[in-house]
Structure 1
Amino acid sequence: MQPGGDDSAIAYPILIGDIGGTHARFAILVDAYAEAREFPVLRTEDYPSIDAAIQEGVLDKTSLQPRSIVLAVAGPMRGGEIDLTNSPWVVRPRNLIAELGFRDVTLINDFEAQAMATTSLEPEYLEKIGPGSVKPASARVILGPGTGLGVAGLIHARHTWFPVAGEGGHMDIGPRSDRDFQLFPLYQRIDGRVSCEQLLCGRGLVNIYRAVCAHAGQSASAQDPAEVTAAGLDGSDDAAVETLQLFATYLGRVAGDLALVFMARGGVYLSGGIARIILPVLQQPEFRAAFEDKAPHSSILRDIPTFVATHPLAALSGLAAYARTPARFGVMTEGRRFSA
């Protein structure tokens, strides 16, 4: 059982799985043409390990026995295993082969999967915000505020899409407006830093909200991201309303920065549950204005389109596209593909 590095065809049936910090989503591809058979979304906290989740949440509920498994996971590979960034689960490919009977295990970064999904999602699952048009075979950027902030690029060369994963969510973010200079001293930091992820994820919503409340000298009535979001969307809490506006502004700034880094004329795509839920806020002027506010290159940003991916299982779409035709994508599998 040795790690593999080639992109040869993956044997069917294939189990594909998107493993996040809060939820795990699975589907089975019976062959290259059949629609993926999806399973109910699992909460990671309900299972002691990924092995248990796959056995109880998938294999025990189907007569199919997948030969291969392709997983999108958030975390670096160390010593043949992955400690998930925002979950206590540890992915051990050799255990999946030995204990659950898979013949082949391929591990992909979660935002590599999100990036590949931009090539496979149907237009009805891409909500366009603002002007600009997609330039074919051009670079793309993907951002996903969720349990954390995922970031990836997608580059096209030699008729192949190359996903570029990294830790862009941990870049610094700083104050720009007068309001920012009031609030940034109140934001919770990590070792003195305010990173993008400190503001642009679930806990980031709470971070912003508490700072807004503290500056106003009022108590924070909303206690978690869902409460902040709900109160901001229904207008019942002025601090929560401003929180969502600030969130959209900060997200626009970071998205614009990354669009310039990748020269993403193929578009910038927002994925994940938060972006879908706050879509009405993102459609207001703040997000797009912040995205384009990049003098002296604002004209470049005005021509780059931005989208919210509204499909709740977008990463599975990317995994399915890769599993069916690995050669279409330049995914390096050396050290990330294991065989029995």
Structure 2
Amino acid sequence: MAGSGTAHLRDTDDVLVRVENMVVEFPISGGTVHAVSDVSFDLVEGETLGIVGESGCGKSTTARATIQLPKPTSGSVWFKGRDISKLSDEEMRRVRPEFQMIFQDPISSLNPRRTVTEIISEGLRVWGPNDSWSLDTVPELMESVGIDPRYGERKPHQFSGGQCQRISIARALVLDPKVIICDEPVSALDVSVQAQILNLLEDMKARYGVSLMFISHDLSVVKNISDRVMVMYMGKTCEIAGSDELFDKPVHHYTRALMAAIPGAEVNVEEQTLDGELPSAINPPAGCRFNTRCPAATDRCRTEEPQITEVSVNHYVACHHPVLG
């Protein structure tokens, strides 16, 4: 089931990003879209947080609202101990280079009129050199992501999708960010290329000390790259735990249904499918938002929203009837 709470937030010195009670709503004619509803999470230095769920569950909106694009309707976003949700536009502009994004469609996310060298170095031309990179060392960065600097004068359409994603990674790294948001970065790529890009992200994380927020609807991809995983449903948090723990012992009925749907997956769950359609985000169900599709739903689930509680060490779930044992 999906609920709220902050019991899973960590109180350690290495927490880089801390999001508390984030709400993102979009007014439309006839109502309000409740995209993200009271979501909390944190990210420590050098960690990869996977955010997973069905299309429309709010995972991309959650990540983008973390960098104030768009600004959350309410809630707070702390970065290095500073609440960036209260910064002015100019103050946020100066913080934003610390956050970079890698997008789902690698080709359309690159300016077709610019050369690869211009695309990668644009951030340096705006902000100037940093501790890691300058205009003179862009070729070195290109080599580190697997792009031959001799091809720097080519345009994006002259590269494959996988090569364009490597260019996107270099563009993100050039500003020496602390956090990179990866929004479905391999879903548009062939399976063989996906593995190469995932390995590259792991190498870049280790080499340059960045933290990753990795958004995907593909649990097998999330399992391979994430240190910690947060499962979302209709703008709410369902379950959050270390990657190995979550996949070995999923306790939320929605998480278990997602895992049962992985082709050929060796996960310790019973075969379980979801019935019914995803409810409207304009008029979400009362109580637990998953109650309309959950096989274990009771009257309590239809009236009372569950709170996030710890079911084992560093394993948290928002459910009135979790599958334990």
More helix by share: 1
Q: Same fold per TM (> 0.5)?
A: no
TM-score, L = length of structure 1: 0.29
